[in-house]
Chain A
Amino acid sequence: MVTASQKLPAELRYHEELAVLAAADRDPKPAGWRLSPRAVRRFIIGDDKLGVSRKFWGDDPLVDRCIVALMGMQGLILVGEPGTAKSLLSELLAAAISGDSLLVVQGSAGIIEDHLRYGWNYALLLAEGPSERALVASPVMAAMRDGKVARIEELTRCAPEVQDTLISLLSERTVATPELGSGRETRAVQGFNVIATANLRDLGVNEMSSALKRRFNFETVLPIADPSFERELVARQVRERLVGQDVGASLSPDVVDVLVSVFRDLRTGTTSEGAVVTRPKSVMSTAEAVNVGHAALLDAHYLDGATPGGGHVARQVEGVVFKDDAEDQRKYRAYVDTVVKARARSSRVWADYFKAAKARSDG
């Protein structure tokens, strides 16, 4: 049952839109691409005329640059703070260009070279010796063979020597398999490229070598700059999460405003009134705001049986965002005691938020 999955890959989720775009696509396509670059662009930033929804917000030129980078011989690496929809963008690009966003390597400290090149089915290897059948291609090698886009998530979490495997893959565009006989190799078919995502500043990430950096075009995905737009986005995404769940309630504009303001204040370090706020270490991304909004709604609906208000948001913010860093909690308390307190005087939703936040920190 496909429909019961929690989350479908983009090419299935949006398969109707992709079909519409393909049918209407008259522009030239680079070799190996399912859609023309312009259709890929329309798939990601939307096209009202074709009924294609917008899926990535805030920086259209960035989308253009990504598409153009993928047409060339350089890989594309998306960097930026956590929660800025880097992975989403990478998934959408792969789905639109190759019709397949599942060729993914999830980067971690446990990744070894085999995960980027190829491994073996050891039972077959022992029984038959090295053979095509016994060889297990990595997603990257599969993408080369089929002319598709391979995705590598969190590249900088891999050990540097493993990362460097990509250098030869990206410059030679071939994987040699000497075990199958001398001269045996898999050459990349037209359409192959790599989209990596990485965090360059988080704890526990590895530095990239300059040789590898040279083989990638870097694109930075920034947090959303426009507050009104962020509010709209959060409200919409919370609504989308509730599709298929029997929850009638929704977040009122006032509540969304409180939610987004809290996140923006703590993310940027200045409030809309210009007051300075000490920034916590926690990630205050739009994605986290959606998580909090969603959780607040469920809390209000299932546990409280009330309309979601500032108090529900306040109760979730601390639990969802400030996991267990005492320093962060102090900064957040200071924020509540100054900025939120001042706003609580003139707004009921803020007053609600303040009361709940104080109750938590005092209790």
Chain B
Amino acid sequence: MDNGTLIRDIRSRLFDEKGKVWLAPIRHHSPACAAALAAMIREIRPSQILVEGPEDYTRLIPDLLHPETQPPVAIAALVDHKDRPRIAAYFPLCAHSPEFVALKEGKAIGAELAFFDLSSDRFGAEDAADLPPHPRAIQDEAAFDSGDYVRRLAEELGCRDGFELWDHLFETRIGTPDWRAFFADVGSYCAGLRATSPSAEVTDGINARREAHMARALQRAAGKGPVIAVIGGFHAAGLLSKPSGPAERGKPESMSRSYLIRYGYREMDALMGYGAGLPQPAWYERLWQAHLAQPDRMDWQAVAQDVVGAFVGEMRGKGITIAVPQQVELLRSAQLLSRLRARPGALRHDLIDALRSSLLKGEAGSLDVWSERFLTFLQGHRLGRVPESAGQPPLVADAFARARAAGFDVTDGRRRTRALDIRRKPAHLAASRFAHAMSLLDTTFVQHEGGPDLITGAQLTLLIEHWLYAWSPQVEAKLIEASIHGDTLPAACLGALLAARADLQAEGRGGEVLPLVILIKRGLLAGLGAEISPLFDELVRGLQVSARIDDTARALQDLAVLHKARGPLSLRDVLDPAPLFQAAYLRTVYLCGDLEKTGPESLGDALTALRLISDLLRDDIGEGLDAALFDAAMVRLEQVGPPPELLGAALAIRIQNGYLRPERLAEAVRGQFAGSHLETADQIRILTGVMKVAPALLWTEPQILTAVDDFLTNVSETDFFNLLPGLRLVFTELSPRETDRLAECLAETAGGRAVDFAARTTQVSQSEAEIGRVFEQEFRATLEHDGLADWFDGALTESRIP
């Protein structure tokens, strides 16, 4: 059959009046389709309505039509398969979704209602290898917006993309009483799409199986009185042909559980990224409401005014004013654009264009601030409601129960604060673990407002953690997304950590150990305890091959903290980090052997690493590590002739740890200072190393200070200026207190006190004072003459403020 015949054929075969089967090809979330469908149902009064959607969702229809249910809602299915990660799939429905309207209208006339697609456990089973483990929409409509047919037609009709084309062709006809012509047009449009889609998309895999399944279900239903089947337009042609292939028998390979959950417009719009339905639900809801208010005549002018008015109101609420002339210009442009484009009234794209024209003053990129605000407005932020009887997915229920047990007030969605005394009160520690777990899963339930940051080690002296929290539908939606990792909070956290680990490997950062230690810490804060052991094993392997000394040294430092930690990060009685700690130390010592090859770009990292190790060895938490190994590594480093910075660092560390006498460093420093260098600035490179790892040597070991002082005293003025930038950099390592200390030492060698060298007071002679006084008088007189006297007084008052 050629494409022309196919398209004509669809028109005549959608409605089988004799066999009493009516197909309603729709686009998801299209109010025009919903309106035509309602008209169709009222006229035909079918005894059965079949809706495209997994047949196991049929049991959720009573909840869906419950008086307490308020769209947007979604049916969420968690599909488990033995060979692949769990999939979370969504079937979002809003008030203007044709499927929802069909079910509501069907209930009103007492029709039998059912979903009739493949059940969700048979969904996507065969293309599992390609499935990313993230949430996916069950309605897939990518074909509506791409492909040759759409592009050519859009070009012909002057539309920029498939969305504008759809609105132009179909949403403009919302409320048309002739539903037969409307669906015939949708049907042939979709047949055109289908005919130009790559044949693999149509006939292979899941689509063909689904269509065969739905066709069989429709055949079974056909004998039992009038039936209306609501299907995505793309499948209409498939349902009209004879079902091919065997019926789906046998036990499905996956297991699926589905739940009715409340949903939000924001989440719905985000799913549009996966190609399901029309975007910006708030806009289409307005069309739907306008249609309901006046079913026989759509007042497009009123819709545009209504939308612009609401947008202006929302902006005013945010403190952004849109002046009346601009509003008028916006409406005028929208109306003229729609007329130019031969439309009954301003559609979404006309309004967006008009807004750009009338509000934007200046040059804009592809997405400007006004368009962005308006698109967000058109997206809307409505949240749905579901009756309690609908139940909750396990992870949501688990998290909710834990939130209550941990003392979080989750009776409503209000934002609250909580302070947790994590080191002294076990109950607060438990609550903190819950909060960390929720934050690990990215649920938006909590926000860390203050207190110690145990991951980065910042502000560790603080005792109290401060959290801001609120239980919202978004939290539930995020938890369902996280359900792909597990059904309980700890299981989901561990799953999320393992997934993060896999992501690191995919990014090529699998060899780094510090990120792994951070993941372990996050797990511990979330209260995972012994469950964290898979990551521990990974770390053991990672430490055998880690290649970067800075990464390994930081990991070592973190492990030292874990080793000794009490409180939130405590590992006592669960896992023994001591072997890991030792392994990390040995690895860093081993990696010291590579230091001589350090290039200039990684010198800073190498010095930091050396300082970390050296500090650790002198600290309590380094107890149990064999310091002699590190010293031997420093001896080797010193002997191979490393870059001067590393030589300085190695010597300084050895002196600091008592393995070397300071004379050796003083001698090396003098040698470098006096040596021949290409650049003057190279003379002080050794000092950089010393100051980075052991600045205290400058005041604890007088010989070293003397060496530096002698050098700086004797250097020529030109050379000094050349050295100055480098010297500044070197001495910024010092804290203000250390700077004072050093100044004292220097002053002592020069015979005096540091303050004597600080600010010099100038003696003013009497005649100079007299000149100043006269000048001030004249200046004041001039200002007074110019009427600016308060400048002078003002300035004086200000200068008096300390």
A45 to B160, CA, bound (A): 13
Q: Which of these, A61, A71, A210, A220, contacts B336 with CB under 8 Å?
A: A71
Decide yes or no whether A280 CB sits under 8 A from chain B. no
Q: Are A64 and B360 in contact (CB under 8 A)?
A: no
Closest 8 CB pairs of A and B: A68-B336, A213-B361, A220-B364, A79-B363, A65-B357, A217-B357, A200-B363, A37-B340
**Contact partners of A80 in chain B: CB under 8 A:** 363
A221-260 at interface with B (beta carbon < 8 Å): 222, 225
Decide yes or no whether B194 CB sits under 8 A from chain A. no
A308 to B158, CA, bound (A): 37
Instruction: Please give me the residue from chain A that is nearest to B339 by CB atom.
Output: A37
Instruction: Please give me the residue from chain A that is nearest to B154 by CB atom.
Output: A60
Whether A222 touches B366, Cβ cut-off 8 Å, given contacts A64-B337, A74-B329, is yes
Whether A64 touches B362, Cβ cut-off 8 Å, given contacts A71-B336, A74-B329, A217-B357, is no
Whether A61 touches B362, Cβ cut-off 8 Å, given contacts A68-B333, A68-B337, A72-B333, is no
Decide yes or no whether B28 CB sits under 8 A from chain A. no
| Distance in Å: Cβ of B755 to nearest Cβ of chain A | 49
Q: Which of these, B325, B329, B358, B363, contacts A201 with CB under 8 Å?
A: B363
Q: A38-B340, A72-B333 are in contact. List 15 more A-B contacts (CB 8 A).
A: A37-B336, A61-B349, A65-B353, A65-B357, A68-B357, A72-B336, A80-B363, A200-B362, A213-B361, A213-B362, A217-B357, A218-B357, A218-B362, A218-B364, A220-B364
Decide yes or no whether B741 CB sits under 8 A from chain A. no
**Contact partners of B360 in chain A: CB under 8 A:** 218, 220
Interface of B with A (CB < 8 Å)? Answer: 158, 160, 325, 329, 332-333, 336-337, 339-342, 349, 353-354, 356-358, 360-366
Q: Are A65 and B333 in contact (CB under 8 A)?
A: yes
Q: Are B349 and A68 in contact (CB under 8 A)?
A: no
Instruction: Please give me the residue from chain A that is nearest to B325 by CB atom.
Output: A214
Produce 1/0 per residue, A57-79, CB < 8 A to B: 00011001101110110100001
Decide yes or no whether A41 CB sits under 8 A from chain B. yes
**Contact partners of A222 in chain B: CB under 8 A:** 365-366
9 A-B residue pairs with Cβ-Cβ distance under 8 Å, sorted by A, are A61-B349, A64-B158, A64-B341, A65-B353, A68-B357, A79-B362, A200-B362, A217-B358, A220-B360
Interface of A with B (CB < 8 Å)? Answer: 37-38, 41, 45, 60-61, 64-65, 67-69, 71-72, 74, 79-80, 200-201, 210, 213-214, 216-220, 222, 225
Instruction: Please give me the residue from chain B that is nearest to A68 by CB atom.
Output: B336
**Contact partners of B357 in chain A: CB under 8 A:** 65, 68-69, 217-219
**Contact partners of B353 in chain A: CB under 8 A:** 61, 64-65
Instruction: Please give me the residue from chain B that is nearest to A79 by CB atom.
Output: B363
| Distance in Å: Cβ of B150 to nearest Cβ of chain A | 16
**Contact partners of B365 in chain A: CB under 8 A:** 220, 222
**Contact partners of A218 in chain B: CB under 8 A:** 357, 360-364
| Distance in Å: Cβ of A118 to nearest Cβ of chain B | 29
Q: Are A60 and B337 in contact (CB under 8 A)?
A: no
A41 to B358, CA, bound (A): 20
Q: Are A60 and B160 in contact (CB under 8 A)?
A: yes
**Contact partners of B358 in chain A: CB under 8 A:** 217
**Contact partners of B342 in chain A: CB under 8 A:** 38
A169 to B356, CA, bound (A): 24
Instruction: Please give me the residue from chain A that is nearest to B336 by CB atom.
Output: A68
A37 to B337, CA, bound (A): 10
**Contact partners of B329 in chain A: CB under 8 A:** 72, 74, 217
A118 to B665, CA, bound (A): 85
| Distance in Å: Cβ of B71 to nearest Cβ of chain A | 32
**Contact partners of A71 in chain B: CB under 8 A:** 336
Instruction: Please give me the residue from chain A that is nearest to B360 by CB atom.
Output: A218
A214 to B158, CA, bound (A): 29
A87 to B84, CA, bound (A): 58
| Distance in Å: Cβ of B660 to nearest Cβ of chain A | 47
**Contact partners of B160 in chain A: CB under 8 A:** 60-61
Whether A60 touches B158, Cβ cut-off 8 Å, given contacts A41-B340, A65-B356, A220-B363, is yes
Instruction: Please give me the residue from chain B that is nearest to A77 by CB atom.
Output: B361
Whether A64 touches B340, Cβ cut-off 8 Å, given contacts A69-B333, A69-B357, A72-B332, is yes
Instruction: Please give me the residue from chain B that is nearest to A41 by CB atom.
Output: B340
| Distance in Å: Cβ of A99 to nearest Cβ of chain B | 20
**Contact partners of B333 in chain A: CB under 8 A:** 65, 68-69, 72, 217
| Distance in Å: Cβ of B482 to nearest Cβ of chain A | 32
A225 to B340, CA, bound (A): 25
A213 to B329, CA, bound (A): 14
| Distance in Å: Cβ of B638 to nearest Cβ of chain A | 40
A210 to B340, CA, bound (A): 30
**Contact partners of B337 in chain A: CB under 8 A:** 64-65, 68
**Contact partners of A201 in chain B: CB under 8 A:** 363
A65 to B353, CA, bound (A): 7
**Contact partners of A210 in chain B: CB under 8 A:** 361
A37 to B335, CA, bound (A): 13
**Contact partners of B364 in chain A: CB under 8 A:** 218, 220
**Contact partners of A61 in chain B: CB under 8 A:** 160, 349, 353
A225 to B366, CA, bound (A): 10
A295 to B356, CA, bound (A): 38
Q: Which of A37, A61, A214, A219 has the most CB of B within 10 A?
A: A61
**Contact partners of A219 in chain B: CB under 8 A:** 356-357
Instruction: Please give me the residue from chain A that is nearest to B337 by CB atom.
Output: A68
A61 to B361, CA, bound (A): 18
A26 to B430, CA, bound (A): 77
| Distance in Å: Cβ of A333 to nearest Cβ of chain B | 23
A38 to B364, CA, bound (A): 26
| Distance in Å: Cβ of B117 to nearest Cβ of chain A | 37
A201 to B364, CA, bound (A): 12
A216 to B325, CA, bound (A): 12
**Contact partners of B349 in chain A: CB under 8 A:** 61
